[in-house]
RNA sequence: GCCGGAGUGGCGAAACCGGUUUACGCGCGGCACUCAAAAUGCCGUGUCCGAAAGGACAUGCGGGUUCGAAUCCCGCCUCCGGCACCA
């Protein structure tokens, strides 16, 4: 009977739902396994690239379940955010309506794929029962000074009409829409992630089950550098300013100093100097230029202030410049410039005719510009002759003794800007009172519900600001008139802790029960796209550390093991609606079934790598499933007879397949598991062609069905049932290979002459070295190749190889 | 510029510890079944020479280590990803 994938897949999807096969409960008697796919934005249409990810997560769920783990694999929706809101602006449909229908469409996809999720724990960030706890979390941070409002130059996307976090600016452009961002001075809400910089950096070392690439990206993003911060006094003035340097050892080479155009001291310094007009003109130009323009300009530009600073180590009087290659946002916004040892300073000094003094001896014959390598310190008085490290230490001691500075650590990481001037997000639960200042909304008034608005269009401030009745409120502290915060939270706040809520999703009185979180956390396997390497994955680590600090989380790191899957591409391009190269899975479901598609998603290539979609591939895996089906349902003519060599060989091959599939699943080498099963099926076909056998074949076939269960669950469950079992295959124990059967009694021994393959012979696996050598020399082919030449050496690696070395 | 990763048939890829290169699938060619086609099954399929037996050459390029290298080392080339005036 032909395999009817349509009705059989629907049948098992219904059974898994009815029997609640994937609902999980805390159970201290079994090891837990918390398995999470990054919760998706509900975009409705999934394409074959998305399904690779969900095939992997479901494979892990089913595999770990069969291995006896108490597996939790929940699913939820990252449902706040711009796409729903932009759709609302176009169509007038409220985002909550469009999001709900998208969620329904996605659930149909997951069901069709046969994905085993615990739907009883479903959550969505736009549900008030969820974002209430976003708001609660915000207040916890606020109460501890870790959420604060500050006016600062921030990234503004003119297209989306909202500010962006640093992490959301990619090469000077909005990560979402690609528009060049502008700098604006605005009062915005920040989370003080910088307080956690050292922990976020150091704990990366523990995450040895994370891809190195992601850890490196986070390290670079945090960007810790050590050095010294010290004070430079302005000549003829009581003013001074702080500078940060990683190279205090080069201070004798300082021939100028530079302030960022936005530095607060600039105005006072230039006032009344001959250079004032020039300087002001430069600052206006620099302020107008976008970051991209500043970067692309190439040659460093700047302007002399007319003022000087005194080098504290030798009293040298050096000019102060303003230049936009110094950034206000890093360090102190001011530097000592040492062109001899810094390439940027070198370029600037060359352009403006400033002196260059080398303080590190370059190697003989060095003809480069600034020398940034290691060498002996020169031209530096009491530092002369010291190595870089010694000179740095000496200088820091000197600064400390003089009271001018100290050793300092600087980070590239900035505080996380979380307020957004958009509608579709969680309202920030703060009230601004003329008398009391910024006051948190009390817990018993949460959630601050997101009100309906007549107009979603962004106008530079949140659409909520137009709702005067909503904005006007009373102060929770003094009862006087006050105004609500109208900005909403970045959706990355929602996603920074949702995996805690999964552990206790219906708790109405608490963000989650710490005991339930303790049972499930940390996530044993987290799967998602590498595009979140420094966004979601960093924020979630930060919030987890905060929850740890306040006693809610038992772990400091949320994701014990991280897997980042590659993309599916088509004609060399990422699938996207805008490119019009999206392949929907529907046709494959219809023609070949979800199981065949799942197998091809596994088979298509190494899981971490991008893979090219091949339209014929699913037909190939469907053919394989068809063969397996026929073998199980059409070969009923078993005969009874004693086991022979052929039977023993089949059983041994089966155990080798179990061993290999188990190893490969453990190592996430999913692409190599499918060929193992295909090869086993080919072996079984050959076996059947030679005449059916009873018990032996049944055992091999059962192993095939078990191994298919996590990969192609529908057909596997159906075959399990049809071969006379009334248990649920999903919860049957995973087969274990018998180590004694894995070893072969005979192997093919390769005979080489001078490393080139010349003959092969079958030998007993326990052949000794002497016999192997003798057998090799007895070979006719080999004696032809030796042909009288002197045998210099014979390398024997019994039982696999003999290599005869001749002159 | 700096930091990662990769380069193996017509294509996706295997080869896990240095030991039979190219498993498995796609594609392609042939055959069987069929009135025919589809589906299915079987056989073949790295390149070159050769009728065959067989041989030579092949893992981006050039060297090296080794009895033996896709794998280790050195130097290049190309592609992909990340960071990029971070002082």
DSSP readout, A250-315? GGGG--EEEE-TT-TTHHHHHTTSTTHHHHHHHHHHHHHS-HHHHHHT-S--EEEEEEEEE-TTT-
pLDDT for A295: 53
CB–CB of A112/A72 below 8 Å? no
Q: Residues 97-136, chain A: which have Cβ under 7 A from strand B?
A: none
- C-alpha A102: how far from its chain's center? 25
CB–CB of A511/A461 below 8 Å? no
- ipTM entry: 0.93
Instruction: Copy the structure tokens of residue A538.
Output: 């960093």
For A372-429, the three-class secondary structure string (H helix, E strand, C coil) is: CCCCCECCCHHHCCCCHHHHHHHHHHHHHHHCCEEEEEECCCCCEECEECCCCCCECC
Closest CA to A748 of A800, A703, A792: A800
How long a stretch of residues is chain A? 807
pLDDT for A1: 58
The reported pTM is 0.92
pLDDT for A80: 95
DSSP structural state of residue A596: H
Q: Whose structure tokens read 């006016």?
A: A151
CB–CB of A235/A256 below 8 Å? no
CB–CB of A400/A406 below 8 Å? yes
pLDDT for A711: 97
Q: Residues 661-690, chain A: which have Cβ under 7 A from strand B?
A: 663-664, 669, 671-672, 674-675, 678-679, 682, 685
What are the phi and psi torsion angles at A34 (to 5°)? -100, 115
Per-residue pLDDT tens digits for A467-497:
999 999 999 999 999 999 999 999 999 999 9
Q: Whose structure tokens read 């449909």?
A: A93
pLDDT for A135: 98
Q: Residues 283-312, chain A: which have Cβ under 7 A from strand B?
A: 294-295, 297, 300
Q: What does the angle CA A796 – CA A802 – CA A806 come to, to the nearest 5 degrees?
A: 100
Torsion of CA A438, A444, A445, A448, to 10 degrees: 90
pLDDT for A61: 97
Closest CA to A484 of A445, A448, A432: A432
Instruction: Say whether the peptide bond before residue A28 is cis (omega within 30 degrees of 0).
Output: no
Closest CA to A562 of A5, A79, A37, A28: A37
Instruction: Say whether the peptide bond before residue A447 is cis (omega within 30 degrees of 0).
Output: yes
* Residue A524 CA distance to nucleotide B36 C1' (Å): 58
Q: Who's near A460: CB < 8 A, 6+ residues apart?
A: A161, A421
* Residue A219 CA distance to nucleotide B65 C1' (Å): 36
pLDDT for A62: 98
H-helix or E-strand containing A72? Answer: strand A70-72
Per-residue pLDDT tens digits for A58-98:
999 999 999 999 999 999 999 999 888 888 888 888 999 99
Q: Residues 28-87, chain A: which have Cβ under 7 A from strand B?
A: none
pLDDT for A392: 93
User: How do A525-529 and A562-565 pair as beta strands?
Assistant: parallel
Q: How far apart are CA A548 and CA A542, in angstroms?
A: 10
CB–CB of A52/A9 below 8 Å? no
CB–CB of A681/A701 below 8 Å? no
Buried b (16+ CB within 10 A) or exposed e, A85-107: bbbbeeeeeebbebbbebbeebb
pLDDT for A391: 93
Q: Give the nucleotide with minimal C1' distance to the Cα of A615.
A: B26
The SS3 of residue A48 is: helix
CB–CB of A493/A501 below 8 Å? no
Q: Is A280 left (phi over 0), alpha (psi -120 to 50) or beta?
A: alpha
Regions in chain A scoring below 50 on pLDDT: 297
| Neighbour-count burial of A26, counting CB atoms closer than 10 A to its CB (0-12 exposed, 13-18 middle, 19+ buried) | middle
Is the CB of A244 less than 7 A from some atom of nucleic acid strand B? yes
- Report chain B positions within 7 A of protein CB atoms: 3-5, 11-16, 19-21, 23-27, 39-42, 55-57, 67-69, 81-87
Is the CB of A10 less than 7 A from some atom of nucleic acid strand B? no
């Amino acid at each position: 009977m032909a395999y009817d994938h349509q009705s059989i897949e629907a049948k098992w999807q219904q059974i898994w739902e009815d029997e609640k096969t994937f609902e999980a409960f805390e159970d201290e008697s079994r090891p837990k396994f918390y398995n999470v796919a990054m919760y998706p934005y509900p975009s409705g249409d999934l394409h074959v690239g998305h399904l690779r990810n969900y095939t992997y997560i479901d494979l892990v769920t089913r595999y770990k379940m069969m291995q006896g783990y108490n597996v939790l694999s929940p699913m939820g929706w990252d449902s706040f955010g711009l796409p729903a809101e932009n759709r609302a602006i176009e169509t007038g449909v409220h985002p909550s309506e469009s999001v709900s229908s998208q969620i329904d469409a996605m659930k149909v996809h997951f069901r069709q794929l046969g994905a085993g999720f615990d739907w009883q724990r479903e959550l969505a960030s736009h549900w008030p029962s969820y974002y209430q706890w976003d708001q609660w979390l915000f207040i916890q941070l606020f109460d501890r000074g870790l959420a604060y409002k500050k006016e600062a130059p921030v990234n503004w996307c003119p297209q989306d009409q909202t500010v962006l976090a640093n992490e959301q600016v990619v090469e000077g452009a909005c990560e979402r829409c690609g528009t060049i961002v502008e700098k604006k001075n605005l009062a915005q809400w920040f989370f003080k992630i910088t307080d956690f910089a050292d922990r976020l950096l150091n704990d990366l070392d523990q995450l040895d089950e994370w891809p190195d690439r992601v850890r490196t990206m986070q390290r670079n993003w945090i960007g810790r550098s050590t050095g010294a911060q010290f004070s430079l006094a302005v000549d003829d003035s009581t003013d001074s300013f702080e500078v940060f340097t990683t190279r205090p050892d080069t201070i004798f080479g300082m021939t100028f100093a530079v302030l960022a155009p936005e530095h607060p001291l600039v105005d006072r310094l230039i006032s009344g100097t001959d250079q004032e007009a020039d300087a002001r003109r430069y600052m206006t130009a620099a302020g107008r230029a976008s970051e991209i323009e500043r970067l692309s300009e190439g040659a460093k530009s700047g302007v002399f202030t007319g003022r000087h600073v005194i080098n504290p180590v030798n009293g040298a009087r050096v000019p102060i410049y303003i230049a936009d290659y110094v950034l206000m946002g890093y360090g102190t916004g001011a530097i000592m410039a040492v062109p001899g040892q810094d390439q940027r300073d070198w370029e600037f000094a060359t352009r403006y005719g400033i002196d260059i003094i080398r303080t590190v001896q370059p190697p003989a014959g060095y003809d480069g510009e600034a020398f940034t390598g290691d060498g002996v310190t020169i031209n530096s008085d009491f530092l002369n002759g010291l190595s870089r490290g010694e000179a740095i230490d000496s200088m820091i001691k000197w600064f400390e003794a003089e009271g001018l500075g100290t050793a300092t650590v600087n980070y590239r990481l900035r505080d996380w800007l979380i307020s957004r001037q958009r509608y579709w997000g969680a309202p920030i639960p703060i009230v601004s009172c003329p008398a009391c200042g910024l006051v948190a909304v009390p817990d018993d008034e949460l959630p601050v519900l997101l009100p309906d608005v007549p107009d979603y269009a962004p106008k530079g401030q949140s659409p909520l600001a137009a709702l005067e009745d909503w904005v006007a409120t009373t102060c929770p502290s003094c009862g006087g008139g006050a105004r609500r915060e109208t900005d909403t939270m970045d959706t990355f706040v929602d996603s920074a802790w949702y995996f805690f809520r999964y552990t206790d999703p219906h708790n109405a009185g608490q963000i989650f029960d710490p005991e339930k979180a303790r049972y499930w956390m940390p996530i044993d396997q987290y799967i998602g796209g590498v595009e979140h390497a420094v966004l979601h994955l960093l924020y979630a680590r930060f919030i987890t550390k905060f929850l740890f600090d306040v006693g809610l989380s038992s772990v400091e790191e949320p994701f014990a093991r991280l897997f980042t899957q590659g993309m599916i591409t088509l004609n060399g391009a990422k699938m996207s609606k805008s490119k019009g190269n999206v392949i929907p899975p529907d046709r494959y479901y219809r023609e070949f079934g979800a199981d065949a598609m799942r197998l091809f998603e596994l088979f298509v290539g190494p899981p971490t790598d991008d893979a090219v979609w091949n339209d014929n591939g699913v037909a190939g895996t469907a053919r394989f499933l068809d063969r397996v089906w026929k073998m199980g349902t059409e070969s009923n003519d078993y005969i009874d007879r004693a086991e022979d060599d052929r039977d023993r060989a089949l059983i041994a091959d089966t155990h080798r397949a179990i061993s290999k599939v188990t190893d490969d699943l453990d190592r996430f080498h999913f692409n190599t598991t499918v060929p193992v099963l295909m090869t086993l099926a080919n072996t079984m076909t050959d076996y059947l062609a030679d005449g059916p056998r009873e018990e032996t074949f049944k055992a091999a076939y059962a192993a095939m069905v078990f191994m298919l269960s996590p990969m192609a669950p529908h057909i596997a469950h159906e075959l399990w049932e049809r071969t006379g079992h009334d248990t649920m295959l999903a919860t049957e124990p995973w087969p274990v290979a018998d180590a004694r059967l894995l070893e072969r009694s005979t192997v093919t021994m390769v005979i080489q002459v001078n490393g080139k393959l010349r003959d092969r012979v079958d030998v007993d696996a326990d052949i000794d070295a002497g016999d192997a050598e003798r057998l090799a020399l007895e070979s006719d082919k080999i004696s032809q190749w030796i042909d009288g030449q002197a045998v210099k050496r014979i390398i024997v690696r019994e039982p696999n190889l003999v290599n005869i070395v001749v002159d």
